[in-house]
Amino acid sequence: MKPRPPVVLTIAGFDPSGGAGIVADIRTIVQLGCRPAAALTSLTFQNSAGVFGAIHETAKSLRAQVMPIIEEMELAAVKIGMLPTAELISEVAAMIEERRLPPPVFDPVMKSSSDYELMEPDALTLLKRELLPLLRIITPNIAEAATLSGVDVFDERGMRHAAVNLRQLGARAVLIKGGHLEEESDKAEAIDVLDEDGAVTVFRGPWIEAEPVRGTGCMLSSAIAAGLAYGQSLSESVAAAKQFVAAEIQNSKLTIQN
C-alpha cells in the first residue's frame, strides 16, 4: 500500500485572485507531494493591481476551523501566513501550545506589494512576545526583518545583524529573504541568510530577470514546511524551497515570453 502523504496545515489569508495567500500555499503543498489542510485568517479583496480591503476572522472562528482538522489528522508540519490582528496571533500561539502542534514555519505578512497594511500595529508586540519563541523558523523579507528586528537592512551584513536580533527576541531560526541586493564588488544576485541557533548559511543564486511574481514568500514558506514534513533538515528544506521558487519564477518568465 502506498504511504499516505504527510499533512501540512496552512493558516493564512485568502487571495481571491489566487496569486498569493492560502491558494498559493495549497498549490505549493500539493506540488511537493503533501496533503494540504487549510484555515483562513482573513478574506482579502485583491488582484494583481493591489489589495483593496479585508475582513478578518475572529479567534473563535479560526479555532473552529483548526480544531476539527487537528482532531482528525496527524500534522507533519504547519505553515502560518497572514495574521492581521493581535487576537489571531494570541489564538494561534495558544493552539500551538495547547495541542503541541509542530513548530510552524511563519511568513510574517505585514504589507502587500501595493503598500496595503496587512497587520494591525498592536499585533506586532504580541507577535514578538507570544508567537516568535514557538516557531520553527520565521521568514521575513528585508522590510519585515527591519521592522521586527529594529535593524536597517541594506546588505548581507545587515541581514546577518537583523537575524541575530530576531534570535535574541526568541526566534529559534530566521531566514531573511534578500531578494535583489547589490554590493559594490558583486553583480546582482539573490541572497538569503539562514541563521539557525547561531549557525549561519548564506544561500546565493543568480537574480532572475522576470516580471514580478506574486506569492513567492507564500510559496517559499510552504515549500519549507513541505520539506520539514518529509523529514528534511531545516537547511535542506530551505535549499529545496529556494530551488522550487526559482523554478516557478523561471516558468513564469517563459510563460510571459511565449
- The whole-number pLDDT of residue 79 equals 98
Angstrom distance (rounded) from CA 78 to CA 55: 23
Cell numbers given for 190: 539573490
Domain that holds residue 163: 7-257
CA distance linking residue 188 with residue 119, whole number of Å:
31
Tell me if 115 is assigned to some domain: yes
Asked if pLDDT for residue 239 goes beyond 60, the answer is yes
Average pLDDT, stretch 201-230?
88
Query: Which has the minimum average pLDDT: 68-72, 119-123, 221-225?
Result: 119-123
- Which cell numbers hold the place of 43? 478574506
Percentage above 90 pLDDT, the chain: 75
C-alpha–C-alpha distance, residues 110 and 2, integer Å: 40
Our count of domains for the chain comes to 1
Whether residue 2 is contained in a domain is answered as no
Tens-digit pLDDT profile for residues 12-67:
999 999 999 999 999 999 999 999 999 999 999 988 888 899 999 999 999 999 99
Q: What is the CATH number of the domain that holds 210?
A: 3.40.1190.20
- Give Cβ neighbours of residue 11 (< 8 Å, ≥ 6 apart): 38, 39, 41, 62, 66, 78, 79, 80, 81, 83, 92, 104
Asked if pLDDT for residue 113 goes beyond 50, the answer is: yes
Q: What pLDDT is stored for residue 257 in this prediction? A: 42
Q: Is pLDDT above 60 for 254?
A: no
Mean pLDDT of the chain: 90
Q: What pLDDT, on a 0 to 100 scale, did the predictor assign at position 142?
A: 93
Query: Which grid coordinates are listed for 65?
Result: 476551523
Radius of gyration, CA atoms only, the chain: 17
The predicted pLDDT at position 212 comes to: 65
Residue 221 lies in a domain: yes
Examine residue 120 and state whether it is found in any structural domain, yes or no.
yes
DSSP bridge partners of 191:
204
Q: Is the pLDDT of residue 209 over 70?
A: no
Among the residue ranges 29-33, 118-122, 138-142, 216-220, the one predicted with the least confidence is 118-122
Distances from the Cα of 25 to the Cα of 37, 100, 147, angstroms: 10, 22, 24
Q: Is 198 among the domain residues?
A: yes
In this predicted model, what pLDDT tens digit does every residue of 142-191 receive, in sequence order?
Answer: 999 999 999 999 899 999 999 999 999 999 999 999 875 644 334 467 89
Residue 16, domain member (yes or no): yes
pTM recorded for the entire structure: 0.93
